[in-house]
Amino acid sequence: MLKIDLTGRTALVTGASGELGRVTARTLAACGADVAVHYCGSRDRAMQTVEAVKAQGRRSVAVQADVTDFESVTRMAQEVQEALGTVSLLVANAVIQYEWKSVLDQPLADFQSQFASCAMQTVHLAKAFLPGMIAQHYGRIVCINTECAAMAEPGVAAYTAGKRALDGVVRCLAKEVGMHGITVNQVAPGWTISDRDRLAHTEEAPDYVRTVPLGRRGTDTEIANMTAFLLSDLASFTTGAYIPVSGGRVMPAI
């Protein structure tokens, strides 16, 4: 029987105090990884995630950083190295939240923030963590993209632009580091049910669900499971991929 086994690996999940990030951190811990829990401003929620990881018998530490600032990311990398050792599993999940509007109404700063928190976050993380992966000739990077990057729907231009820029970085990076035994992939969630929905009882979205071939919204756990798979050796020959987890709403063409 196949099993996702991350035993002996150290992971970093950015945005791990948020909805999808904390589920991802817990999932990686369940697979055997020690997990560094990144947060920007929500330390209390990050510490809750740390305790959840430790409850599964894994080591964990909360680390603060602004992923749009390279010096801040470099400092975080040093803290993780000192606390947990070399990161070999990296999940770029953090993103700046903003109010979606039409291109004409969207403030220019929102386009800049999305590029910074999507594309530049990945560049910063690569520069900070790839040297350690290259030294051990092993590494797995998963960037969280979105179905919006493929759908390009009205009102989502800043988010779409930032994530499509991320896609370009990932594809180039995958070709640059493959020779070192490092894979770089993307998971692209659809509109996902999280704890926020469960608490507010907002899981139902009939208009959206009608556009999903599988006839429902996905869950945070389903996204985290795909991330864990791509971080494992079960996906050792997959790199440069954009993998929708959207119930068939996005089907990339060949």
132: left (phi over 0), alpha (psi -120 to 50) or beta: alpha
Q: Is 208 a catalytic residue?
A: no
- Among the listed residues 39, 98, 138, 159, the single catalytic one is 159
Q: Which are the contacts of 134, defined by CB distance < 8 A and separation ≥ 6?
A: 177, 180, 182
CB of 202 closer than 8 Å to CB of 117: no
Angle at 81 between CA 138 and CA 130, to 5 degrees: 35
DSSP string, 60-103: EEEEE--TT-HHHHHHHHHHHHHHH----EEEE----------T
Angle at 15 between CA 68 and CA 12, to 5 degrees: 95
The set of catalytic residues is 159
